[in-house]
Amino acid sequence: MSELIAAISTPPVPSAIGVLRLSGSGAAACADRVFRARSGRPLTQTPDRQLVYGSLLDRAGNVIDQVLATVSRAPHSYTGEDTAELQCHGAPVVLSMALEALYAAGARPARPGEFTQRAFLNGKLDLTQAEAVADLLEAETPQAARTAAGQLTGALSRRVEGIYDGLVDLLAHFHAVLDYPDEDIDPFRVQEIGEAMGRAERGLKELLATYDRGKFLTRGVPCAIVGLPNAGKSSLLNALLGYQRAIVTDIPGTTRDTVEERCVVGGVLLRLIDTAGLRDTDDPVEKLGVERSRAALAGAELALVLVDGSEAGEDPNRLAAERSLWEEAVARCPRAVLVFTKSDLPHGWERGFPFHGEGTPEVWLSARTGVGLEALGEVVARLFPQGDGGEAGSMLTNARQAQAAQAALAALQEAGVGLRAGVTPDAVLTDVESALESLGELTGRTVREDVVSRIFSRFCVGK
């Protein structure tokens, strides 16, 4: 058993319930030093997962709360070790006093993510499931929560294991024929290698095709709000957020830097970036803002290109600037939406933009009245479909997973090149073994210690 750790597993704010968690050798005995059961029966003699009512004590043995306690013994616990939990009233001072008492009783402070890291190391979770725990805690949309929950129940793991097991069967058959030539084993045929690798390659390509959607569901879509000065960019940001986040004035060039916020639009989590108006300027500060705006546009997956709908479109200079901005957005971003603002004012434009392509998503809205915001949400939802419920949890959701799957695919493709070139099966299967190693990194079968440390460092203390 590993050393005993303790932590507060709930936020350090006043709340109805606060939870103290212990894991490791002697968890129940340590909890008994700060908990006195009303029945007089110690936790060391209590059955697993049975709630026990009693008093919580501080370091001096004084009663500080009336609480519920429970123990779960290895291996039937979250971490796979002996664990104990104390459910208190959520007063931060009570939780802090109780935690100090647990430290005095022999526990040490838990590191961020250490409980879940122990669950991984003890085989209770694989690496994709452990990452799903953090994703579930950070979920900001219902679909993101469903995706994380699906991964936590093993949906992605099962998909990867299906590919992994097929390649293992291929290697096992080859080595069985090689090592036991006198046994009655079906001969090993080159065609079988090609068919097995083909199935695995198709599976990996289908898996990698889920990455963009999975990434957007969990991390959000980078969305740049761009336009000429005074087009209504900051007003739109404030309207989408529901509060005054950015300064809005009638003076062009008010926004000098990018302003970033997260917001759900049309059921899609957007990482909104309000940018400085794009124009030529001699002001050195505004010029820096314009440069940052272009950088935000280049890094975005969605551009909301704003055009002041109340301005007349006959001004050739303004029209040229609008056209240049639209073309830049389309060139730099995979997706762009044309947004005519200030629709509550008399229209200076005819409906439609004189130079955007047919079929371009177009929305008229007023940030002041809110009319058109729902239509914008519908456009965003069409551009970033959520997928069907059956796929939830079986998508790649972060760069580490995608890199491991891509490495496995590259190894298989290299094996295919060798097979078609007539390379001997044993040499081909060396690349298959490399593919298996990369798939093992995806789920944590084979993974470096530094990768594990990096993954669990994003967790909060107590999880």
Give the annotated binding-site residues for (6S)-5-formyl-5,6,7,8-tetrahydrofolate. 21, 85, 124, 463
Q: Helix 127-138 vs helix 114-121: angle between axes, to the nearest 10 degrees? A: 160
Helices (H), 333-398: 373-383
Residue set of the binding site for GTP: 230-235, 249-255, 274-277, 366-368
Cα–Cα distance between 403 and 409 in angstroms, integer? 10
Residue set of the binding site for Mg(2+): 234, 255
**Residue 435, both tokens:** 């593919």
| Strand pairing category for 268-274 and 221-227 | parallel
Residue set of the binding site: 21, 85, 124, 230-235, 249-255, 274-277, 366-368, 463
**Residue 193, both tokens:** 């290698």
Radius of gyration, CA atoms only, the chain = 29
- Using DSSP, state whether 440 is helix, strand or coil: helix
Residue set of the binding site for K(+): 230, 249, 251, 254
Nearest Cα residue to 256 out of 280, 289, 282: 289
Q: Which residue has the tokens 């900001």?
A: 140
- Long-range pairs for 29-32: beta carbons < 8 A, 24 or more residues apart: 30/4, 30/6, 30/84, 30/102, 30/105, 30/106, 30/107, 31/69, 31/71, 31/84, 31/86, 31/102
- Cα–Cα distance list, 162 to 157, 166, 204, 431 (Å): 9, 6, 10, 18
Cβ–Cβ under 8 Å, residues 69 and 37: yes
